[in-house]
Structure 1
Amino acid sequence: MRKLLLGLDIGSSSVKASLLDADTGEVHAAKSAPAVEMPISAPKSGWAEQDPEMWWTYVKEAIAFILKKASVKKNEIKAIGIAYQMHGLVVVDKNQQVLRPSIIWCDSRAIDLGKEAFDQLGEEYCLKNLLNSPGNFTASKLRWVIENEPQTAAKIYKIMLPGDYIAMKLSGEITTSETGLSEGVFWDFQTNGISQSVLEHYQIPQEWIPEVKPSFSVQSEVSKSGSTETGLDPGIPITYRAGDQPNNAFSLQVLHPGELATTAGTSGTVYGVTEQPLYDSKSRVNTFVHVNHQETKPSYGVLLCVNGTGILNSWLKKNLGQGEVDYMQMNSWAKSAPVGADGLVFLPFGNGAERILENKFIGAQLLGLDLLRHDKSHIMRAAQEGIVSALTYGFEIMKGMGLNLNTVKAGKANMFLSPVFRSAFIHMNEVDLQLYDTDGAQGAARGAGIGAGIYASEAEAFDKLKLLETFSPNPNFLAPYREAYEKWKEKLALILNS
């Protein structure tokens, strides 16, 4: 009988499920749903919400597909792992009914509340104990609900992150994790527990916080109701849970100091691991509990996030391509323009407030457009180089914190499929780039295998992880890319100082 591991990745664009064979490392089936990107509602400028029930609908669709495609028999699935979009807020009542749409990761409404909390709790406490400003994270979002929607707040039984919600729908149990609480800035790194100061400042009742489970552990089991809705066997344990960026790092076996992972999906990230509780004094990059953290053996993840990444490419596809071109064609256009896009500069910051800009929202901006010289190829190249420039800007902050940035790992997906994007990435940052055959859902499946004890070690879990390609900088290309980045940075400085 096969030993199968089910990995779920709950993104803001889509939900993905993968069915991994624990013995062979083979993916027997994988499915993304829906076929088009999930909608994000913006009732007001700077807001971003999604209906958690929509995530559950597509989880069920993806599971149904892979169960059928892989001809799964009873008792073959041994464990489930869940990865999810970070920082989202889900609130439910005593009947486990959602009380309002989820305020997701790129929503900016709680920025002022986070600033106020930083001032009142004090810079020393926030940076030493929380390793971050409360900023626009989950705790601040919850305070916004308390202040602005008191009738909703009065009905709250538990608060959750998106992955906690999916686990609840599968099992009927409400739990969370240390890494999840840290990403919401509920975690005190000095006491290694929930921050009482944050709860008191935001007037958040302790009982709203779910029971805390280790990332790798038997957290709950598929209930009869969960089985009925999904077709999964009742009793399958849920044994791993992590936010998408810690999970992406885990998916690439980034678990030790000096290792780095990157993504370029809707948002773009770089995630580095350290044994030291590092922080940026301006909270432009953020430190959280990593999935393999233990009190006796600390492990922290330093996250650089640029909200405006693949979403800019998607916007260009929809509005310039008018649905008649695909990303491959857009990449071809970008490749036909020179490095630096002939002076055209794209600031990609059009998806909410950006942490690397100290939570400013300046919007996406196309600068230096010459109507006599520039065409769509220059725009496409400027967009891709602009996204990489934003990541490079964050890289410089991480280097200033003491992180080693020599080799970066990524899955071969999303914007890393573009030769222009890859070239800009390795030359602007002067790093080697390793691309692997993996994704967040596969990583969640491997995590489930560790949490269930099916894999005896991390090394065994990643024994079949396949390195596809490695890219290294060409010394001849460093100067033009450095010039393009410096020009981009000059334009950004003018906007920020205006």
Structure 2
Amino acid sequence: MYWIGFDIGSSSIKAALIRADDGSFVGMAQYPEKEMDITSTKPGWAEQDPEVWWQNLCIASKKLISENSIDEKDIKGIGISYQMHGLVVVGKDLKPLRPSIIWCDSRAVDIGERLFQSAGTEKCVEHLLNSPGNFTLSKLKWVKDNEPDLYKKIHKFMLPGDYIALRLSGQCIATPSGLSEGIMWDFKKNDLADWLLEDAGIDSSLVPEIRPSFSEQGIVNKQGAVESGLPEGIPIMYRAGDQPNNALSLNVMEPGQIAATGGTSGVVYAISGQKNTNEHTRINSFAHTNHSSEHPRIGKLLCINGTGIQYSWIKNELSNGISYNQMNQEAGTVPIGSNGLQILPFGNGAERMLKNYNKGSRILNLNFNVHKAAHIYRAALEGIAFSFVYGMEILKNDGVNISSIKAGNDNLFRAEIFSKTIATLTNSQINIVETTGAVGAARAAAYAFGVFKNIGEATATDKVELTHEPEISAQVYQEAYLKWKKSLNEYLNN
């Protein structure tokens, strides 16, 4: 018997199978192999057709079943992970009325700020743990203000994962975790923030039925089964946005635990047990998958835009064709602190953790008689690591006491200089685990069904592939970091 998990990204759809008895990984499929198109008809806009997500999921699902030679009737249920903050609107026929306004679309920034002011800044921070920002509710208000005729046709609005569940089951269901990432969940009331919807002029009847993240969220109907290749009648038992789901995949569920990723951008997702925030302008706080009013579990998300993209830019433009591993090896020949060379890796748009500062990256103290390519590689890795540490200091100021750090299997965290620097400066062990969001979603669904006692049991077959321990002597790291942070403050105050 098996459970299947889907990860609905903006690049591709991933599907994964796990065994029902122990949660072990069976196989993975992805479609398309090339990235899905993102339509941008105006600067700052980003849209995708939800129907394309569904078509690609059906292909990935059938491919997974075929390649692993299993009987689809042996699949017991479904879990879904999805790209966060997107907006899908459907009419009474449950078909999309327009393309989805996805996570990286920035058209609703000003609307979110006006809502923040009109609804009351103190009330928003106290009840929502965020400003409305450029998230799902603000995007829906953009539709109301700019496409009023279309808005009148809306039957329900939802997040990307909700739409996939709709296509599988024919039911419109939302979750508290999903509504919180759309900035529509009142943590004080432990219910929908209907007062904010009212301020935005949004009818709360457009919100789907709300069910917990770990619960039955629809049953695959005949049409969903035929199109996806899955058996009719199996339940959808779990749904969460990609960052909360990534944390779950790494068994990051309790206060003090951190899930970190270092891809094109960097993300630090920390679990807190407190329903408050001091840093609503620099981080976002969402209901984690296991959040409840009695046992708060708040996922505090900090994003750093200029991380892996900087290192890949250096590789593509300056490395003369060598591999990342070779770059990392050469960086290892340079002492900690890169002989004074510093890089501020903030060249990929406005940085929320820097209060939306956006003046590009900086290379500082370059000396043509001292510094070689290896110094640039090390300074880049150190600069990215220092930005992670700087972000974790913000999280500490927001009540997060770091107890452990887990990361997925990506290039940055495999670079010893990068991970060792973070581990030493935070005095935390970093464990790198081989897993994926689709696998995590499948395990979460099995847990919700009662197959496992907890997420730790569901992920027990995962192995820690690599561990980075803090250096015993941290002084040289600390000196280099303090110099870098001084340069950052000068950059911010210039």
TM-score (norm 2): 0.91
User: What residue number does 2:383 align with?
Assistant: 386
Query: Among 478, 482, 487, which residue is 2:483 paired with?
Result: 487
Query: Among 70, 73, 84, which residue is 1:86 paired with?
Result: 84
Query: In the alignment, is the contact (CA less than 8 A) between 1:103 and 1:141 conserved in 2?
Result: yes
- Offset, 1:343: 3.9
User: What residue number does 1:270 align with?
Assistant: 268
Query: Among 395, 398, 401, which residue is 2:398 paired with?
Result: 401
The CA distance in 1 between the partners of 2:281 and 2:160, in whole Å, is 23
Q: How does 1:207-356 map to 2 (within 5 A)?
A: 207-317=205-315, 326-356=323-353
The CA distance in 1 between the partners of 2:39 and 2:362, in whole Å, is 22
**Which stretch of the first structure deviates more once superposed, 434-443 or 147-156?**
147-156
The CA distance in 2 between the partners of 1:352 and 1:212, in whole Å, is 35
The CA distance in 1 between the partners of 2:213 and 2:343, in whole Å, is 39
Question: What secondary structure sits across from 1:269 in the alignment?
Answer: strand
Say whether 1:420 aligns with 2:421: no
Q: How does 1:178-189 map to 2 (within 5 A)?
A: 178-189=176-187
Question: What secondary structure sits across from 1:72 in the alignment?
Answer: coil
Deviation readout 1:65-115 (Å, 9 max, x if unpaired): 221121111421111111112112222333333344333333333222222
User: What residue number does 1:199 align with?
Assistant: 197
Question: What secondary structure sits across from 1:75 in the alignment?
Answer: helix
Deviation readout 1:293-340 (Å, 9 max, x if unpaired): 223333222222223333444445555579x66544444454455433
Letter in 1 for 2:166: M
Query: In the alignment, is the contact (CA less than 8 A) between 1:47 and 1:108 conserved in 2?
Result: yes
Distance change in 2, residues 1:137/1:72 (3 Å): same
User: What residue number does 1:129 align with?
Assistant: 127
Distance change in 2, residues 1:16/1:480 (3 Å): farther
Query: In the alignment, is the contact (CA less than 8 A) between 1:240 and 1:444 conserved in 2?
Result: yes
Question: What secondary structure sits across from 1:217 in the alignment?
Answer: coil
Query: In the alignment, is the contact (CA less than 8 A) between 1:106 and 1:351 conserved in 2?
Result: no
Letter in 2 for 1:438: T
Letter in 1 for 2:487: K
Distance change in 2, residues 1:486/1:105 (3 Å): farther
Distance change in 2, residues 1:22/1:316 (3 Å): farther
**Which stretch of the first structure deviates more once superposed, 259-268 or 65-74?**
259-268
Question: What secondary structure sits across from 2:345 in the alignment?
Answer: strand
Question: What secondary structure sits across from 2:425 in the alignment?
Answer: helix
Query: Among 98, 101, 116, which residue is 2:99 paired with?
Result: 101
Distance change in 2, residues 1:284/1:172 (3 Å): same
Question: What secondary structure sits across from 2:57 in the alignment?
Answer: helix
Query: In the alignment, is the contact (CA less than 8 A) between 2:73 and 2:230 conserved in 1?
Result: no
Distance change in 2, residues 1:374/1:96 (3 Å): farther
CA RMSD of aligned residues (A): 2.7
User: What residue number does 1:113 align with?
Assistant: 111
- Offset, 1:125: 0.4
**Which stretch of the first structure deviates more once superposed, 335-344 or 416-425?**
335-344
The CA distance in 2 between the partners of 1:369 and 1:154, in whole Å, is 58
User: What residue number does 2:465 align with?
Assistant: 468
- Could you tell me which runs of 5 or more consecutive residues in structure 1 were left unpaired when the two chains were aligned: none
Distance change in 2, residues 1:172/1:370 (3 Å): farther
Distance change in 2, residues 1:365/1:231 (3 Å): farther
- Offset, 1:461: 2.0
The CA distance in 2 between the partners of 1:321 and 1:94, in whole Å, is 55
The CA distance in 2 between the partners of 1:423 and 1:454, in whole Å, is 37
Deviation readout 1:397-456 (Å, 9 max, x if unpaired): 111122111321222334222223222321333321112232211111110101222224
**Which stretch of the first structure deviates more once superposed, 157-166 or 92-101?**
92-101
Letter in 2 for 1:138: T
The CA distance in 2 between the partners of 1:388 and 1:436, in whole Å, is 19
Deviation readout 1:373-405 (Å, 9 max, x if unpaired): 655544443333332222222111111122111
Letter in 2 for 1:105: W
- Offset, 1:204: 1.5
- Offset, 1:279: 0.8
**Which stretch of the first structure deviates more once superposed, 383-392 or 335-344?**
335-344
**Which stretch of the first structure deviates more once superposed, 463-472 or 205-214?**
463-472
Distance change in 2, residues 1:420/1:43 (3 Å): farther
User: What residue number does 2:429 align with?
Assistant: 432
Deviation readout 1:7-40 (Å, 9 max, x if unpaired): 1122234332211112133211112333344454
User: What residue number does 1:150 align with?
Assistant: 148
Identity in percent: 48
**Which stretch of the first structure deviates more once superposed, 426-435 or 488-497?**
488-497
Distance change in 2, residues 1:191/1:42 (3 Å): same
Query: Among 24, 29, 34, which residue is 2:22 paired with?
Result: 24
Query: In the alignment, is the contact (CA less than 8 A) between 1:134 and 1:140 conserved in 2?
Result: yes
The CA distance in 1 between the partners of 2:223 and 2:304, in whole Å, is 38
User: What residue number does 2:65 align with?
Assistant: 67
Letter in 2 for 1:198: L
Q: How does 1:154-165 map to 2 (within 5 A)?
A: 154-165=152-163
Distance change in 2, residues 1:452/1:346 (3 Å): same
How many residues end up aligned between the 2 structures? 494
Question: What secondary structure sits across from 2:215 in the alignment?
Answer: strand
TM-score (norm 1): 0.90
